Amino acid sequence: MRHQIQSDDLRAPEMATAIEKCVHCGFCLAACPTYSLLGEEMDSPRGRIYLMKNVLEERLAAEDAQPYIDRCLGCMACVPACPSGVEYGDLLVSYRALQEAERQRPPLDALARKLVMETLPYPKRFRLAARTGALGKALQPALPAAFAAMLSLLPDKLPPPLPLPAILPAQGERRGVVALLPGCVQAALAPEINYAAAHTLAANGIEVHNPPGAGCCGSILLHIGAEAKARALARDNFTQLPADVDAIITTAAGCGSGINDYELLFKGQDDAERARAFSAKVMDFSAYLAELGLRRSKGFDRERRVAYQDACHLLHAQGIHSEPRALLNQIPNLRLLPIADAGMCCGSAGTYNIDQPVIAAELGRRKVESILALELDLVVSGNIGCIAQLRQQLALLKNPLPVVHIAELLWQAYAN
């Protein structure tokens, strides 16, 4: 599409290129969760591109377009669906960062957002907030929707931490050395995931480094446009995580895809090269293990019907599709079943279920409906957000179907 964008923002070229490549063909519509749910052009990828274009061309007020841009899950399903190769992610991340700087939010929104930004990336603060949250749950019905959604995601009690040794040695012949990125929310909400990931890696002959000073990668902030804070968190990890490892492993989809965006985040910064090198090392847990090859596990004593829930930030943003499935198919007595509409977001999408609770809940409901049609014993996913979302939706139906991280299932297969 032609455009007249003359922003002097550092990112204008990325945004202009994405808009230029869009030919408005509509192929993205079929892949977009909000279009399928809301059925209007403004809530489609090409519609949002058009709105952003008009804002950047100063033909439309940013605040008019904002509700529609806010409703974008950032699931990136439109990117692989796009024949013309529009880098929608580059456009969205840049646009959100640009607007965030100038944006006035209503006081309650601003407060909820500040809470998110000041707690989620920091496990200690998050623990504290979660305890307060348990109290807050009693007040939930009286709170605004964004707060209610935020609180409903918090467990009544956080599990105790499961510390990992600074170096977890490889079992048997050593096949590799990695560092485990601890992450933030996940480490507090579900320490068992990284615990299982580290032990599964060790069982497969991989030495796992767990530097105590490492933490949030900043993606959760990057995805909502809080760039400077995201960069600060990323820099902490540059110094805390060892550089001389085969890979830096993440067990959360959003971390992996966010770190892929470091090139954009650090554009024009002094340590851009450092960021690029760091980002090149980062690999998702399932992709790393699939590439290395799994050692034989004991598996299950009887057949388990299992479905793999694709996290958007693995499937669409990182193109990880066959790897986790290949791992699961190697587990004895595990029968893998496909979820209908597998590429549709479950509505979790980082902080989306806090910002857009109604749409998030409907997408979650649809996803659970497809899952329940399969009569499963277990659902696995590669991302804490999806896991929390599915558990919450299943709890609403009082359905006891367990949802676990793929690392947990693999570890169970070895531990059995």
Partner 1 sequence: MNRALLAALENIYPADRLLTRDVELLPYESDALTAFSAKPGAVVLPVDEAEIIYTVRLCHEMAVPFVARGSGTSLSGGSLPIPEGLTIGLNRLNRIKKIDPQQRIAVVEPGVINLHITEAAQPYGLYYAPDPSSQSICTIGGNIAFNSGGAHCLKYGMTSNHVLGMKVVLADGAVTQFGSESIEGVGVGPDLVGLFVGSEGLFGIALEITVRLMPQPELYRTVLAAYDDLGRAGDAVSMVVASGLLPGAMEIMDRLAIKAAEASVNAGYPDAEALLIVELEGEAPQVNAEFEQLRRIIDASGAFESRVAKSEAERTRIWKGRKGAFSAVGRLSPDYIVQDGVVPRSRLGEALLEINALKAKYSLDVANVFHAGDGNLHPLILYDGREDGALEKAEALAGEILALCVNLGGSITGEHGIGMEKRDYLPAMFSEEEIDIMQALRLAIDPKEIANRGKMFPGGEAPALARQGMHPLERAGVISRE
Residues of this chain that interact with partner 1 (CB under 8 A) are: 1-2, 20-27, 29-30, 39-42, 44, 46-47, 50-51, 54, 60, 64-65, 68, 82-86
Continuous H helices in 33-87: 33-38, 45-56, 62-70, 78-81
Residue 332: CA count within 13 A, CB half-sphere: 11
Q: Considering only CA atoms, which of 304, 285, 236 is closest in space to residue 384?
A: 285
Q: Write down the least CB distance from residue 316 to partner 1, Å.
A: 15
Residues 6+ apart with CB under 8 A from 125: 118, 119
Q: Write down the least CB distance from residue 65 to partner 1, Å.
A: 6
Given the complex with partner 1, which of 5 and 117 has the nearer CB atom? 5
> Which residue is it, tokens 């920091």?
122
Q: What's the CA gap between 391 and 377, in Å, rounded?
A: 14
Q: Considering only CA atoms, which of 355, 416, 302 is closest in space to residue 110?
A: 355
Given the complex with partner 1, which of 277 and 358 has the nearer CB atom? 358
Q: Considering only CA atoms, which of 324, 369, 318 is closest in space to residue 347?
A: 369
Q: What's the CA gap between 79 and 59, in Å, rounded?
A: 26
The torsion defined by the Cα of 241, 246, 248 and 253, in degrees rounded to 10, comes to 170
Q: Write down the least CB distance from residue 81 to partner 1, Å.
A: 8
Given the complex with partner 1, which of 51 and 75 has the nearer CB atom? 51
Given the complex with partner 1, which of 57 and 192 has the nearer CB atom? 57
Q: What's the CA gap between 260 and 90, in Å, rounded?
A: 11
The phi and psi torsions of 244 (rounded to 5 degrees) equal: -95, 50
Q: Write down the least CB distance from residue 315 to partner 1, Å.
A: 16
Q: Considering only CA atoms, which of 17, 84, 113, 133 is closest in space to residue 354?
A: 113
3-state class (DSSP) for residue 405:
strand
The phi and psi torsions of 320 (rounded to 5 degrees) equal: -90, 110
Given the complex with partner 1, which of 291 and 341 has the nearer CB atom? 341
Q: Write down the least CB distance from residue 60 to partner 1, Å.
A: 6
Given the complex with partner 1, which of 86 and 327 has the nearer CB atom? 86
Q: Write down the least CB distance from residue 273 to partner 1, Å.
A: 28
Given the complex with partner 1, which of 23 and 395 has the nearer CB atom? 23
The phi and psi torsions of 339 (rounded to 5 degrees) equal: -85, 135
Q: What's the CA gap between 66 and 43, in Å, rounded?
A: 11
Q: Write down the least CB distance from residue 140 to partner 1, Å.
A: 27
Instruction: Based on DSSP, count helices (H) and strands (E) in the chain, helices before strands.
Output: 23, 9
Given the complex with partner 1, which of 214 and 345 has the nearer CB atom? 345
Q: Write down the least CB distance from residue 46 to partner 1, Å.
A: 8
Given the complex with partner 1, which of 343 and 402 has the nearer CB atom? 343
Q: Write down the least CB distance from residue 317 to partner 1, Å.
A: 18
Q: Considering only CA atoms, which of 11, 5, 8, 184 is closest in space to residue 97?
A: 11
Q: What's the CA gap between 357 and 344, in Å, rounded?
A: 17
Given the complex with partner 1, which of 83 and 141 has the nearer CB atom? 83
Q: What's the CA gap between 391 and 340, in Å, rounded?
A: 18
Q: Write down the least CB distance from residue 61 to partner 1, Å.
A: 8
Given the complex with partner 1, which of 68 and 266 has the nearer CB atom? 68
Q: Write down the least CB distance from residue 301 to partner 1, Å.
A: 34
